[in-house]
C-alpha cells in the first residue's frame, strides 16, 4: 500500500505527506541515484585509464 500525496504523513506530524516527508524521500532517492551514477562513471574512467596504460606499454 502506498501513501498518497494528500494522506496524513506516517511520521505523525499531522501534516499532509506532500508537505512533510515526501520531499525527504525524494531527496534520498536522488542522492542514491547520483551516488550510483558517480561510482559507475568512476569505474568506467578507471577502466579507460587502465586500457590507455596497457596500450602505451
35 — pLDDT class (breaks 50, 70, 90): very high
pLDDT at 8: 92
Neighbouring-strand partners of residue 16: 8
Over residues 38-48, the pLDDT tens digits come to: 999 999 999 99
Average pLDDT over residues 2-29: 86
Neighbouring-strand partners of residue 8: 16
Neighbouring-strand partners of residue 30: none
**How many helices and strands in the chain, by DSSP H and E?**
1, 0
Amino acid at each position: 500500500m502506498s501513501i498518497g500525496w494528500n494522506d496524513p504523513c506516517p511520521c505523525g506530524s499531522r501534516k499532509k505527506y506532500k508537505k512533510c516527508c515526501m520531499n525527504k524521500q525524494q531527496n534520498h532517492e536522488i542522492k542514491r541515484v547520483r551516488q550510483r551514477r558517480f561510482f559507475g562513471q568512476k569505474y568506467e574512467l578507471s577502466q579507460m585509464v587502465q586500457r590507455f596504460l596497457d596500450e602505451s606499454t
